[in-house]
Structures are given as C-alpha cells and as structure tokens.
C-alpha cells in the first residue's frame, strides 16, 4: 500500500498505489476501510502504522501496516482516549505522536502508544489568544513546530527523557 486518502464525508479510508496516482484520471481504491466515526486526520509513523483521529468519539485509533493491506473494517490495535475533539495529528522523527485537540497540543512517546487507554501526555502545550491552531506540521530541518501558519512553538527534539512514564 503506497498512499491513503481520507474521505471525511463518508468516513472512509481509501488506499491507492503510487502507480494509480501517477496515472491520474479516475481510479478505484485498492482498499476501502469504512470508519465508525468522523475521521478528522491521519498520519503514518515511521513503521507504516496509521494513526487516525476520530473527532466525535474523542479518541485516536491506530492500525498496523498489515491491517491496512488487508482492508475491510479492522479493529484498531490501539485506542487512545482522553481528547476533546481531536483534530490534526503527526508523528515526529523520534516516533512521538502529537495530537491537536480543543485543549491544546499533546505529545505521546512511543512507549505510551503501545497499549490502549488514556495516558497522561508526556508534553502538553496550551495556547493563549482568540485563535487556537487547528493544523500543524513538523519542519524536519528545524527544532520548531509551525502552528496555524502564524505561530511557532519551540519543541524538544525528542521526548526520550519521558519515554517510560
């Protein structure tokens, strides 16, 4: 599986190969996974596992690479709870999971992502001002995290000192 598309209106995760994307035109997905809630965002970790934020269920679910290849309606291998309408999410180069919800930006170590539950984030960043960010992206060449196009929050290069909490 090379690429995934998130169809939020249908809450369907669809997979397409690189060859399909390069060919353009109308393409049928190689795999379709219906979701049981509104999938708001998704990201891959460095091992090819997929994290999906489910906004109305206030959780993030994880699927393995093999589940994605099999298709159907897989059961998440890990479900993280304790979010208030999770939105954007990303994995950094250290494998830390970052989730943006209505309460702020929360960072989870790889150790915290190994089992389901509601772990206390290793790092929480809250925001002041009238507008909280709703999207974010990591800059692989800097130790900053741009948020919402107008703010930059300095971050630690890794959460490794907090991995086993």
What pLDDT is recorded for position 164? 43
Integer CA distances (angstroms), 140 to 2, 11, 50, 89, in order: 21, 30, 20, 16
Residue 83 has pLDDT above 80, yes or no: yes
What pLDDT is recorded for position 132? 66
CATH (domain of 78): 2.120.10.30
Tokens standing for residue 6: 């998130």
In angstroms and rounded to an integer, the radius of gyration of the C-alpha atoms of the chain is 16
Higher-pLDDT residue of 66, 11: 66
Cβ–Cβ < 8 Å for 93, 141:
no
The mean pLDDT value for 6-15 works out to 62
Residue 14 has pLDDT above 90, yes or no: no
Average pLDDT of every residue of the chain: 77
Residue 4 has pLDDT above 60, yes or no: no
Cα distance between residue 83 and residue 117, in whole Å: 11
The mean pLDDT value for 89-118 works out to 91
The mean pLDDT value for 111-118 works out to 94
Residue 165 has pLDDT above 50, yes or no: no
* DSSP letter, residue 113: G
pTM: 0.77
Cα distance between residue 151 and residue 165, in whole Å: 29
Cβ–Cβ < 8 Å for 11, 39:
yes
Instruction: Please provide the size of the chain in residues.
Output: 165
Residue 111 has pLDDT above 80, yes or no: yes
Residue 110 has pLDDT above 80, yes or no: yes
Looking from the CA of 55 toward its CB, the CA atoms found within 13 Å total 11
Q: Name the domain count of the chain.
A: 1
Domain that holds residue 59: 3-162
Tokens standing for residue 81: 């709870």
Integer CA distances (angstroms), 163 to 64, 96, 109, 116, 153, in order: 21, 9, 5, 16, 21
């Amino acid at each position: 599986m090379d690429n995934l598309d998130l169809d939020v209106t249908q809450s369907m995760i669809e997979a397409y190969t690189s060859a399909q994307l390069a060919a353009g035109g109308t393409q049928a997905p190689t795999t379709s996974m219906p979701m049981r809630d509104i999938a708001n965002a998704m990201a891959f970790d460095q091992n090819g596992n997929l994290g999906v934020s489910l906004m109305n269920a206030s959780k993030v679910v994880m699927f393995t690479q093999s589940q994605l290849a099999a298709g159907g309606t897989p059961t998440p291998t890990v479900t993280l709870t304790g979010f208030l309408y999770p939105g954007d999410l990303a994995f950094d180069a250290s494998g830390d999971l970052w989730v943006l919800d209505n309460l702020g930006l929360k960072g989870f170590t790889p150790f915290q992502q190994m089992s389901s539950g509601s772990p206390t984030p290793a790092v929480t960043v809250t925001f002041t001002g009238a507008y909280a960010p709703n999207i974010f992206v990591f800059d692989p060449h800097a130790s900053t995290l741009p948020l919402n196009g107008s703010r930059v929050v300095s971050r630690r290069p890794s959460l490794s000192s907090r991995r086993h909490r």
